[in-house]
Amino acid sequence: MTSSLSALSQLKKLTTVVADTGDFERMQEYQPQDATTNPSLILKAAQQPNYQAMVNQVKAAHPGMKAADLVDYILVAFGLEILKIVPGRVSTEVDARLSFDTPGTIQKAKHLIALYESHGIDRKRVLIKLAGTWEGIQAAKALEAEGIHCNMTLLFSLVQAAACGAVNAKLISPFVGRITDWYKAKLGANWSDVNNGGANDPGVTSVKRIFNYYKHFGITTEIMGASFRNTSQILELAGCDLLTISPELLGELHAQTGSVEQKLNAASAMSEKITPLELDESSFRLQLNNDAMATEKLAEGIRNFCIDTEKLEALLNS
């Protein structure tokens, strides 16, 4: 592959590039196929002066509405603007406080889809983001059966990925950077960028393992690497179905040159010897529990999204 093209241009030939931001004004420059948001990204965007008019417009359209309910309208308002820019899909997240509530998650997801559809958006252009808990995965099973597609997030382990694949979730978002953060903190002074970076980066190897598992067993759920800390992690996953990338790292990739090689290959995964995982509720919970990194990062991720949702509610009350 020619090195005269930017790394971003080359990557787009191997992988579907997705913008990871609520700041839709910044994403236009990089022409991503899809876009993802979460409560933290929407909170960050909603606090910027250039989005105040939109936030105020939503508030004015729903006078007297509780902030907890108004959040859904804010999320969809940002999603609608994003869909004017990307040709593909936008991901919108269900309230993280419902992460252990299957019926509540289903109800909230249907409400979000109804809001999009009330604006003439086909549900195929929306992915509902759910936490990769057992309850979230069971909600995805019910929603997918009704044609509401799900993006399973806060995903840190193969057992979560396998369970999502078993219920035919449309897409999973394994979190690369947060996995690396955990191992980096655990190793402390023993961490080495030479030995633990690049192809050996623990976040990268986690996604490779999931990719090989899915392709080996013919699981059609899409894999979208997420939560990157640097461009090296991104380029090590060239060939993944999708990669969702922040505007900052999209900018770095746009400025980079040099050849980008395909690192993930479905054909090679077929020849690997891989054992299928047991995926009933008790075995899922035990396997997840026994993975300290995945358990800690999942709990931390839910906590932080809950905090940022409450901050967004407070902002709407001000």
List, by residue number, the catalytic residues. Answer: 129
Distance CA 31, CA 204 (A): 25
Distance CA 269, CA 13 (A): 20
**CA torsion, ordered 278, 204, 270, 171, to nearest 10 deg:** 60
What tokens does 136 get? Answer: 């979230």
In terms of Cα–Cα distance, which of 213, 203, 206, 198 is closest to 266? Answer: 213
What tokens does 197 get? Answer: 């970076």
In terms of Cα–Cα distance, which of 104, 107, 154, 111 is closest to 129? Answer: 154
* Residue 172 neighbours by CB under 8 Å, 6+ apart: 132, 151, 152, 155, 160, 161, 164, 165, 210, 221, 222, 223, 224
